[in-house]
Amino acid sequence: MHLGGTAALGDHSVHRIGFGAMQLAGPGVFGPPCDRAEALRVLRRAVELGVDHIDTSQYYGPVVVNELIREALHPYDGVCLVSKVGARRDDKGGWHPWNRPEDLRQGIEDNLRTLAVDQLGVVNLRVMDGRGLGGLEEQLAAMAQAREDGLIAGVGVSNVTLEQLLFCAERVELACVQNPFSYVDRSSQAVLDECRRRNVAFVPFFPLGSGFGVADVRGHPSVVAAAARLGATPAQVALAWTMAQGTNVLLIPGTSSVTHLEENLAAADLRPEDLRLDE
């Protein structure tokens, strides 16, 4: 599979369709997978098909997903591992900010330990404290220090407004930005446009919707109609449309099924000019 060609992810060059490992954990991204063997097969099959960009986090599970990745893929020959810090889980699966400078450093070190690596390709600072700039200066300094210390090769940010993106970009060289974006949710369009202007990788999460209250793109009438016309699945159409929004767009669709993995990766075979979703 050609996986949409390649693009820059910080200092790395990766295929434009990667894999988001979040769904390998149990329901609600909490606890062990429903089918551990299938989760391991998904990871190994992704790499077999050329995936070289895997997105994860210590708080997926928590710990569960990183341990699956290590078991399936270590020593990760040619794979760029991307993680994120800034959040933690409680014992009931709740999500909470964990973003003091010392928390971020601990989160990075925890990822390194559970993935059994000395350096991560990129680590994203997940912004969870609203839409302001409070605390960002110190958080970015901690991320930059981790890069200086060789723990991470690149710094990214996640879930940011345009104001926050501009603030961050003035203080640290950004490898990527992860924000929600899909055919039905274009609330991050200004962020995507700014990333394109700066030649920074934009990594959309929830490109198909999610179980977290994000509309399922696969049921949109325009997507369904295009899929029928092209002999593709609605997921493939939605992913191909998202990737067509810029050469700096890197997809990380996730799944816990080998069948769905292969379908998602085949989205790169659809030509953008054939989609015509916005006509």
237-264: per-residue pLDDT in tens? 999 999 999 999 999 999 999 999 999 9
Least confident interval from 96-100, 157-161, 196-200, 206-210: 206-210
Asked whether residue 222 is assigned to any structural domain, the reply reads: yes
Which tens digits make up the pLDDT trace of 74-92?
Answer: 999 999 999 999 999 999 9
| Residue % of the chain over a pLDDT of 90 | 93
- Give the lowest-confidence range in 14-18, 48-52, 56-60, 269-273: 269-273
Does the pLDDT at position 12 exceed 90? Answer: yes
- How many domains does the chain fold into? 1
Range scoring the smallest mean pLDDT among 19-33, 96-110, 123-137, 217-231: 123-137
pTM: 0.96
The reply to whether 71 falls in a domain is yes
Q: Which residue pairs from 231-237 have beta carbons closer than 8 angstroms and sit at least 24 positions apart in sequence? A: 232/267, 232/270, 233/263, 235/208, 235/260, 235/263, 235/264, 235/267, 236/263, 236/264, 236/266, 236/267, 236/270, 237/267, 237/270, 237/275, 237/277
41 in a structural domain: yes
Distance in angstroms (rounded) separating the CA atoms of residues 255 and 133: 34
Above 90 in pLDDT, residue 15?
Answer: yes
Residues catalogued as catalytic: 60
Q: Which residue has 């015509």 as its token pair? A: 276
Q: Looking at residue 1, what is its pLDDT? A: 73
Query: β-pairing, 53-55 with 95-97?
Result: unpaired
Domain annotation covers residue 278 = no
Please check whether residue 275 lies inside any domain of the structure. no
pLDDT at 149 over 80: yes
Statement: residue 214 has pLDDT above 90: no
CATH of residue 127: 3.20.20.100
Judged against a pLDDT cut of 90, whether residue 18 lies above it is answered with yes
**Rounded to whole angstroms, how far apart are CA atoms 187 and 179?**
9
Helix axes 36-48, 258-265, angle to 10 degrees: 30
Rounded CA-CA distance 178/169 in Å is 14
Give residue-wise pLDDT tens across range 56-68: 999 999 999 999 9
**pLDDT at res. 212:** 67
Q: What is the residue type of 224?
A: V
Structure tokens at 102: 């010392």
Tell me, yes or no, whether 172 lies in a domain: yes
pLDDT at 121 over 80: yes
Quote helix, strand, coil % in the chain, to nearest 5: 40, 20, 40
Q: Tell me if 277 is assigned to some domain.
A: no
Residue 279 counted as domain residue: no
Domain that holds residue 191: 6-269
- Residue 128 confidence (pLDDT): 86
Mean pLDDT, all residues of the chain: 96
- Assess contact for 241 and 276: CB atoms under 8 A: no
Greater pLDDT, 160 or 1: 160
For residue 30, pLDDT beyond 90: yes
Measured CA angle at 43 (ends 126, 84), to 5 deg: 10
Q: What is the pLDDT of residue 132?
A: 83
Answer yes or no: is pLDDT of 154 > 70: yes
